[in-house]
Structure 1
Amino acid sequence: MSNVVPLPDLAPLRDWFSSYCDSFRTSDLELQRNFDLKQEHTRNVCRDALLIAQGMGPRFEMLAEVAALCHDLGRFPQFRDYHTFKDSESLNHAHLSAQVMKQHHVLDFLPAEERGCIEVAVRMHNAFLVPEAIPAVTANLLRLLRDADKLDIWRVFIEYFNTPEAERASGAGLGFPDLPGCSAEPLAAVSAGRMVQLSALKSLNDFKLLQVSWIYDINYPATLRLIRERSVLEHFRAILPQDREVLDVLAQVGGYLEEKLRESAH
C-alpha cells in the first residue's frame, strides 16, 4: 500500500474565494475598484506562486497556491471598514487574513500540520523580515509567498502610475503625497543595500524606492528571473525622478540583481 496522500482538489477553495469576493460587491465604484484590485492581485499571486514553486514537488505547489489564495483575505474587510490599505492606519491585514481563514474553516480539508504551515505563512507574509526559528517547510512557504506577493505588487504599482488618476484604485498609493524628489533616508537605505522601512516614507517617490529595495529581499532564483523578464527595474526607472542619486541607487540594485542571477545560474 502506498503512503502517498492524494492531492486535494482546490476547485472548491477557488470557488469559495470567488464567492467571498462577491460578498463585498457594492454599487460604490470607488470601493469596488479597490476590491477588484485585490481580487485580481490574489489571482496573480496564485499564478506567480506556482511559477516559483515549479519543481519543488506537487504537495508544496498545492500549499503555495492555498497560501497565495488566502494571503490577502483581510484586505476586503480592511478597505470596507477603513477605506485604506495602510495597515498602520487600520489594522494588520495579514493577521486579519489568518482570522478570516479560521472563521470560514477554509483549511479544514488539510492535515493539521499543513494548516499550521499556511497559517504562519499568511500571518507573517507582510513582516519586515522572515522570523527565525520556524520549521523549514513553513519558512520556505513564507519566503515563496513573499516573493510572489512582491512580483504582483510591483505590477499593481506600475499600472497605478500608468492609469489616469480618475480610474486609479485609490488604495494602491497608500495615501502618500506626490511630492518631487526622494527623501534622504530611503535613498541611504537602498544605497546601503538595505530594505527601506515604511516609517521612513514621506512621499509616493519614497514609496517607489521602498518597492525597489524589496529586490534585496528576494528568496528564489525563479523570482529573480521573473523580475528581469518583466523589466521591473526599468519600469521603476521610468516613474522615478531622474536625479543622479536616484539613478545611482537604481544602477546599484540592477547590479545586485544581475549578480544574484549569475550566482543562481551556477
Structure 2
Amino acid sequence: MDEEGLASLKKWFLGYCRSFYTSREEDNRNIRLKEEHTEQVCAFMDILTLDLGLDPGERRLAGVVALLHDVGRFEQYRCYGTFRDSESENHGTLGVRVLTGEGVLDGLAPEERRMILGGVALHNVFRIPDAIDGPARRLLHLVRDADKLDIWRVFLEFYGLPPEEQASAVGLGFPDLPVCTPGVVETVMRGELVNLATLKTLSDFKLLQLSWVFDLNFAVSRRLVVERNYVEQMAATLPPGEDAARVVAFVREYLARSG
C-alpha cells in the first residue's frame, strides 16, 4: 500500500459518501454523521499507529481499514433506514459486499486485500475469533480501538442535542427511560463487555458504551479516553441512582489501574 493507493481510496470513499445525500435533511444528518465519524476514526488511527511506532506501510494499511470500516453503513441506511444490525443486516458483512462489488481493492496485493476485507468484516464483532492472530489481529485491535474512541464522541454529542437536531438512526430505537437493567449493571461490574441483545433502555446502551473500556487494546487508547473525559461526560447523561454510580466508579478505577 503506497501513498498513491491510499489517496485513490480516499477519493473513491468521498464520492461514494456523496452519492447517498438526498433532498431530505433527516437522511443527510445520518449520512453526514457516518462520513464525519469515518474522518475522526482515521484521525484516531493516525494517533494510535504513530504512538505504537508502526512503519509507514503498516500505518497506511491501518488507515485504509479505518477509512473503509463503516462503508456498509451507507447502504444499510439507504435500504433499511436504520443503523441497527439486528433490524437490517450486519454492516461489516455488507461493507465487504460493497467493496467487492465496487472493485475498489482489486489493484492491491492479495494479502493487503485480505487484511482490509477482514478488518471491515470483523471490526464490529463481539469478540475477535481466536483463529485470527499476528498482523491481522493487531489490525483489528487498532480499528476497534479507533472506532470506539470516536463512537464515544458521536454519542456524547447526540445526547446533548435537542431531538429535532439529532441524527435519527443513532439511538438505535431504545426508549429513553431513567432505568438501568440489573443484568446489564452486573455485567459491567464483572469487568465484561455488555451484549447489545441484553439491552432494554437507552440508559442500558450508555452502560454498554462504558463497558467498552474493557475491550481497549492499547495503553494509548485508554489514555485518550481519560484525556477526553469520556467517562465523566457519559456519567453526566446517566440517570441518578446507586446502579449508575457504581458502574461509573468501577470504570474509573479500571482505567486508573490499567493506565
Give the alignment's TM-score, normalised by structure 1. 0.94
Q: How far did residue 135 of structure 1 move?
A: 3.4
Structure 1 runs (4+) greater than 2 angstroms displaced: 5-9
Q: How far did residue 36 of structure 1 move?
A: 0.3
In structure 1, the partner of 2:118 is 120
CA distances 1:51-102 after superposition (whole Å, capped 9, x unpaired): 1111111111101110011111110111111111000000000100111111
State the distance in 1 between where 2:107 and 2:240 align.
Answer: 51
Matched, 1:186 2:194: no
Matched, 1:234 2:232: yes
In structure 2, the partner of 1:98 is 96
> Which stretch shows the higher mean deviation, 128-137 or 186-195?
128-137
Matched, 1:38 2:27: no
Q: How far did residue 6 of structure 1 move?
A: 5.3
Q: How far did residue 122 of structure 1 move?
A: 0.7
Unaligned 5+ segments in structure 2 are none
State the distance in 2 between where 1:108 and 1:224 align.
Answer: 36
Q: How far did residue 133 of structure 1 move?
A: 1.4
Q: 1:16 aligns with which of 9, 12, 15?
A: 12
State the distance in 2 between where 1:64 and 1:6 align.
Answer: 12
Q: How far did residue 109 of structure 1 move?
A: 3.4
State the distance in 1 between where 2:204 and 2:38 align.
Answer: 25
In structure 2, the partner of 1:170 is 168
Q: How far did residue 200 of structure 1 move?
A: 0.9
Q: How far did residue 48 of structure 1 move?
A: 0.6
> Which stretch shows the higher mean deviation, 101-110 or 45-54?
101-110
In structure 2, the partner of 1:154 is 152
State the distance in 2 between where 1:180 and 1:245 align.
Answer: 11
State the distance in 2 between where 1:6 and 1:122 align.
Answer: 20
Q: How far did residue 11 of structure 1 move?
A: 1.6
Matched, 1:29 2:33: no
Q: How far did residue 245 of structure 1 move?
A: 2.0
Q: How far did residue 216 of structure 1 move?
A: 0.4
State the distance in 1 between where 2:26 and 2:209 align.
Answer: 25
State the distance in 2 between where 1:6 and 1:94 align.
Answer: 25
In structure 2, the partner of 1:222 is 220
SS at structure 1 position matched to 2:106: coil
SS at structure 2 position matched to 1:172: coil
Q: 1:53 aligns with which of 46, 49, 52?
A: 49
Amino acid at match of 1:38: K
Q: Decide whether the 8 Å contact of 2:31 with 2:74 is kept in 1.
A: yes
Q: How far did residue 7 of structure 1 move?
A: 5.0
SS at structure 2 position matched to 1:171: coil
Identity %: 47
State the distance in 2 between where 1:175 and 1:190 align.
Answer: 22
In structure 1, the partner of 2:84 is 86
In structure 2, the partner of 1:264 is none
Q: How far did residue 9 of structure 1 move?
A: 4.1
CA distances 1:150-203 after superposition (whole Å, capped 9, x unpaired): 011110100001111100001110010101121111101001111111111001
Q: Decide whether the 8 Å contact of 2:33 with 2:167 is kept in 1.
A: yes
Amino acid at match of 1:170: S
Question: Considering only aligned residues, what root-mean-square deviation do their CA atoms show, in Å?
Answer: 1.2
> Which stretch shows the higher mean deviation, 89-98 or 104-113?
104-113
Q: Decide whether the 8 Å contact of 2:2 with 2:60 is kept in 1.
A: no
Amino acid at match of 2:222: L
- 1:242-257 pair list within 5 angstroms: 242-257=240-255
Amino acid at match of 1:22: R
